Structure 1
Amino acid sequence: MNKLFHYMEKYFMPVAGRLAAQKHLCALRDGIALAMPMIIIGSVFLILANLPFPHYSDWLAHTFGKDFSTKLAYPVDATFNMMGLIACFGIAYRLAESYEIDGVTAGVISICAFLLATPFSIPFIPVGAKEAIQVTGGIPVALMGSKGLFVAMIIALGSTEIYRFIVKKNIVIRMPDGVPPAVSKSFVALIPGFIVIFIVWLLRLWIENTHFGNLHNIVGDILGKPLGVLGTILWGSIIAEGLISLLWVCGLHGANIVSGVMGPIWLGAMGDNAAAYAAHKPLPHIITQQFFDNFVHLGGSGATFGLVILFLFFAKSGQLKQLGKLAIGPGIFEINEPVTFGAPIVMNALLVIPFILAPLMNVVATYIGMDLGLVARPNGVAVPWTTPPIISGFLATGSISGAIMQAFNIVMDFFIYLPFFMMYDKMLKKQEVQVEEPSKNVVSM
């Protein structure tokens, strides 16, 4: 085990450290995080419109009018289904910020470029018609949300790189010193903004003459589908989760690093499930953001909630017993830094194995349960990752089976950690006794 840590420290950690600091991945992670509050707010209305109770929809129609379920979806379209648009601004803003150039300007340019790359046409089925017709002049909500997320990412990164290049080359219009800063910044944005819009416009004209039709179709076929398949199958999820735990073992925030790549895929799957859930159709995906947040990372990365229970109720060493008291509160809300760095788990040969194994078993058990239909799939509702277990399982699936699945995983994690905890607790207790005995002898003398 010591040799393994040596090789990880020598070869793996430098690469992981550079990956964690990579500007574009950090911008993707932090930019998408900007959309999360709106996604959660929209999810509240999605829940209210689709509570899993018998005759709930009939009660809504009787109490508030027959179209009230549709009206409850208005905020969903304005929040949840705008994740791509918001992320486009956020990613560009964060990337520009890392380059120490104006983030607001970069965000505005990227939004305009994103809208330019999006066809303003909406399929509409007239009353009595059998086929849909394309109505122009409307922004398609579907492409502003999860379906447009990959295009938003590419546009945000690309437009900001062009903006940075032009600004660094000083190919901009500079105003005299006496001009207000807001006006001066707007003129600085003229040339880079024009070039970005011109490039995207030419790109759109070219793509319209191909069988793809628009940029969203190209990205969906070439990039979105292969990555989506990898991120929403069992083996892809096992690899991603194993990497999260392995990075944490090295002292790096594994979830943040991996989510920079996989987060858009899981959020896209979440959006697909939310749309299907709102339309009362079968849910297409098992692996979504909520799959990991609410069923795999119980207590945080490494599924440490079961370990915290062991510390609190079964520890004999004073160190782990006290740590259990301190960590149980944060652990309930899925925060496990006190355990990760307090036990510690980082570079701890005894606790590394269950720290990696427990979440992997959660992935496998939850996937099998949902695939067999024993557990309801995540319904697309963005339950905050800090929501306590059992509650989050019910909200994320709209079924008591989700809460039962969480309870099963916690018990399983408890027993996975148990033998390693016993060895570690015994070792710490022995060390504490050895420290206490010399001090007693000194006092007696």
Structure 2
Amino acid sequence: MNHFMQWMTESFAPRMNKIAKNPWIASIQDSILTTMPVILIGSLVTILTIFQSFIPGFPDFTLLSSFSFGLLSLFLAYLIPNTVMIKKHHSKTAKQAGLAGIAFFLMVVNPLFEEGNMTLTFAKLGSSGMIAALISGLFTGAVMNLFASHSFFSEDTPIPDFITVWFDTLIPITLILMVGWLFTFQLQIDIFETIASLFQPFVAMGQSFWGFVFLSFIAYGFLYSFGISAWVLAPITQTIMLKGMGDNMALVAAGAAPTNIFLKETVRLFMVGGSGVTLSLAIMIAFLAKSKRLRLIGKSPFLPSLCNINEPLIFGIPVAFNPILMIPMWICQLICPIVVYLTLQAGWVPIPAAPWDFGFMPQPIVAFFATKSIAGALLTLVNFGISWIVYYPFFKIYDRQCCEEEKQNLECKTEAIEKERLAHEIQ
């Protein structure tokens, strides 16, 4: 175990953090984070639709979601190349890269032109087109970055910067548009469907039972226990989850039942207290610990844990890099996702079919709005109970260890004071 911990600390964790700081990965992460307001608007509309069932004549706010969460891929097509250029220190041409990203993505969705009218499938602009938006954004960013180090003008040119940017971006933007024009309109290749078909096995695997359990364990349990944020895997997990929600919304709109389970909303059903299902541990440390150190430190992480913010607990107790507390964290992140998946698949809890991302609320409330059912709230309580059973014996071991350390420290201090007193008397 010591060799494993040393390898994780000195080799694995630094490499994963290095990957997270890679400008291409970081650009995707930052772009997704930037779209959070429009995702939250979609969540707000989910609340408003509940009132429609009880208040006759209550307005239909669905279009608010359509023009916020429903345009997610279009926003990402702009944000990703824009952010790539900023991360690559070419901020002068960042906005132009974003505009080129939108233009290329709109070509990729393969619109139909008839008698001067352009027709496209609106769903492709939302989360259903997220993979195509990521590919389009990264391709645009790569081309713009390639040409950014070359300029028609010298650094000391008297020509204003905005004019030099015009000319310096003409060639890369033209090249990007030519690629879209060639494949979509000349070769009649549906890039959108090609990308979707290539990634479909990967997405399907992520939505499977084993994919759900594996990704939940790795992202929210294993990596986090070594202090590595789940955002390292955001390009993978967020793509699967957001696309899954878009597909569920399309299924419901077509009169079918939602089928995708690996969603941001379903992850909330087991993350009671945050990644690692740690609310039970926070309560134990705050109110049941005999160790003075644990009781003192444990009070501050308790309230944040109620709102699923557990960084103070993970790094303050700590749980991260703590062999005793890491093991139950891993166990919870295996058992609870299994319980959630099987429960939703059996139909005991409705599969979410509308975005809900107000995660910083007590989890039963989050689950109620995400699933629109009391059963969803009860499922979080079941997972809380499971986590309590798993964490408790390990908590007792760690608490006893801390008490022994405090006792030894006290004895050492007492012995040192006694030696100092005797030395003073001899003098």
* TM-score, with structure 1 as normaliser: 0.86
- Helix, strand or coil for the counterpart of 2:359? coil
Q: Give the one of 169, 176, 182 matched to 1:189.
A: 169
Whether the aligned pair in 2 keeps the contact of 1:383 and 1:395 (CA below 8 Å) is no
Task: Look up the match of 1:107.
Answer: 98
Task: Look up the match of 1:316.
Answer: 290
- Partners of 1:46 and 1:33 in 2: CA distance: 20
- Partners of 2:35 and 2:285 in 1: CA distance: 36
Task: Look up the match of 1:80.
Answer: 69
Give the residue type in structure 2 aligned to 1:259: A
Task: Look up the match of 2:244.
Answer: 269
Give the residue type in structure 1 aligned to 2:174: F
Whether the aligned pair in 2 keeps the contact of 1:173 and 1:187 (CA below 8 Å) is no
- Partners of 1:300 and 1:278 in 2: CA distance: 32
The C-alpha deviation readout for 1:345-393, integer Å capped at 9, x for no partner, is 2221101111111122110011111111111212332222323211100
Q: Does the C-alpha gap of structure 1 residues 226 and 443 become closer, same or farther in structure 2, counting only changes over 3 Å?
A: same
Task: Look up the match of 1:127.
Answer: none
- Helix, strand or coil for the counterpart of 1:390? helix
Give the residue type in structure 2 aligned to 1:389: Q
- Partners of 1:300 and 1:135 in 2: CA distance: 52
Whether the aligned pair in 2 keeps the contact of 1:277 and 1:380 (CA below 8 Å) is no
Task: Look up the match of 2:425.
Answer: none
Q: Give the one of 121, 125, 131 matched to 1:150.
A: 131
Deviation at 1:10, TM superposition (A): 5.3
Whether the aligned pair in 2 keeps the contact of 1:47 and 1:381 (CA below 8 Å) is no
- Partners of 1:175 and 1:443 in 2: CA distance: 69
Where do 1:257-406 residues align within 5 Å? 257-277=232-252, 281-292=256-267, 294-406=268-380
Whether the aligned pair in 2 keeps the contact of 1:142 and 1:148 (CA below 8 Å) is yes
Give the residue type in structure 2 aligned to 1:286: I
Deviation at 1:21, TM superposition (A): 2.5
Give structure 1 stretches of 5+ with no counterpart: 123-132
- Partners of 2:68 and 2:191 in 1: CA distance: 23
The C-alpha deviation readout for 1:178-228, integer Å capped at 9, x for no partner, is 5444444333322211111112211213551x5xxx2111111112x1121
- Helix, strand or coil for the counterpart of 2:257? coil
- Partners of 2:69 and 2:172 in 1: CA distance: 31
- Helix, strand or coil for the counterpart of 1:296? coil
Q: Does the C-alpha gap of structure 1 residues 178 and 305 become closer, same or farther in structure 2, counting only changes over 3 Å?
A: same
Q: Does the C-alpha gap of structure 1 residues 75 and 236 become closer, same or farther in structure 2, counting only changes over 3 Å?
A: same
Compare 432-441 and 159-168 and name the one that shifted more. Answer: 432-441
Task: Look up the match of 1:129.
Answer: none
- Partners of 2:203 and 2:187 in 1: CA distance: 23
Give the residue type in structure 2 aligned to 1:86: F
Give the residue type in structure 1 aligned to 2:12: F
- Partners of 2:358 and 2:256 in 1: CA distance: 24
Task: Look up the match of 1:46.
Answer: 46
- Partners of 1:139 and 1:47 in 2: CA distance: 29
Task: Look up the match of 2:424.
Answer: none
- Partners of 1:24 and 1:424 in 2: CA distance: 40
- Partners of 1:196 and 1:338 in 2: CA distance: 46
Give structure 2 stretches of 5+ with no counterpart: 422-427
Deviation at 1:47, TM superposition (A): 3.2
Give the residue type in structure 1 aligned to 2:150: K
- Partners of 2:115 and 2:168 in 1: CA distance: 38
- Partners of 2:397 and 2:273 in 1: CA distance: 22
Deviation at 1:232, TM superposition (A): 0.7
Q: Give the one of 206, 211, 226 matched to 2:201.
A: 226
Deviation at 1:177, TM superposition (A): 4.6
Give the residue type in structure 1 aligned to 2:142: E
- Partners of 2:210 and 2:407 in 1: CA distance: 46
Q: Give the one of 173, 177, 199 matched to 2:179.
A: 199
Where do 1:389-428 residues align within 5 Å? 389-428=363-402
Moved over 6 A (4+): 173-176
Q: CA RMSD in A?
A: 2.5
- Partners of 2:43 and 2:33 in 1: CA distance: 15
Whether the aligned pair in 2 keeps the contact of 1:381 and 1:395 (CA below 8 Å) is no
Whether the aligned pair in 1 keeps the contact of 2:110 and 2:184 (CA below 8 Å) is no
Aligned residues: 416
Give the residue type in structure 2 aligned to 1:73: T
Q: Does the C-alpha gap of structure 1 residues 278 and 396 become closer, same or farther in structure 2, counting only changes over 3 Å?
A: farther
Whether the aligned pair in 1 keeps the contact of 2:43 and 2:358 (CA below 8 Å) is no
Q: Give the one of 109, 112, 119 matched to 1:138.
A: 119
- Helix, strand or coil for the counterpart of 2:363? coil
Deviation at 1:277, TM superposition (A): 4.5
Task: Look up the match of 2:213.
Answer: 238
Give the residue type in structure 1 aligned to 2:398: Y
- Partners of 1:203 and 1:79 in 2: CA distance: 29
Whether the aligned pair in 1 keeps the contact of 2:286 and 2:302 (CA below 8 Å) is yes
- Partners of 1:202 and 1:175 in 2: CA distance: 35
Compare 231-240 and 389-398 and name the one that shifted more. Answer: 231-240
Compare 8-17 and 175-184 and name the one that shifted more. Answer: 175-184
